[in-house]
Amino acid sequence: MPLLAVQGTADKINPPKYAHRLFRAVGRPKFLLLLRGAGHLPPYTVPGPTLATVEHVTVAFLDHYLGDGPIAAIANAASKLPRAELTSEP
């Protein structure tokens, strides 16, 4: 089953070590979007470039795995935010 995990590196509620552990434990295809300096909720609740990136990466991921969207669109969406780092094993 495809995985897209999104994690803020400054998340004190769900520390990044758990997202890294999950990413290592699951099989392919898998994607880990790290948001440098982001906390727990703001990437999903505060309008701005981080939320927009999360939205665009999520839509590209779903378009690819549930539709016929190009896989390259996932990395392209992540590249729009300098503070975002995408690790993938498609």
Instruction: Name the percent of the chain lying above pLDDT 90.
Output: 100
Q: What is the Cβ-side half-sphere exposure of residue 19, based on CA atoms within 13 angstroms?
A: 23
Mean pLDDT for the chain overall: 97
Taking the model in full, what pTM does it have? Answer: 0.95
Average pLDDT over residues 54-73: 98
Q: What is the pLDDT of residue 58?
A: 98
Query: Could you tell me what percentage of the chain is helix, strand and coil, using 3-state DSSP and rounding each to the nearest 5?
Result: 45, 20, 35
Q: Please give the tally of structural domains in the chain.
A: 1
> In terms of residue numbers, what domain contains 20?
3-89
- pLDDT tens, position by position, 21-58: 999 999 999 999 999 999 999 999 999 999 999 999 99
Q: Is 62 helix (H, G, I), strand (E, B) or coil?
A: helix
Average pLDDT over residues 2-21: 98
Q: What is the pLDDT of residue 72?
A: 98
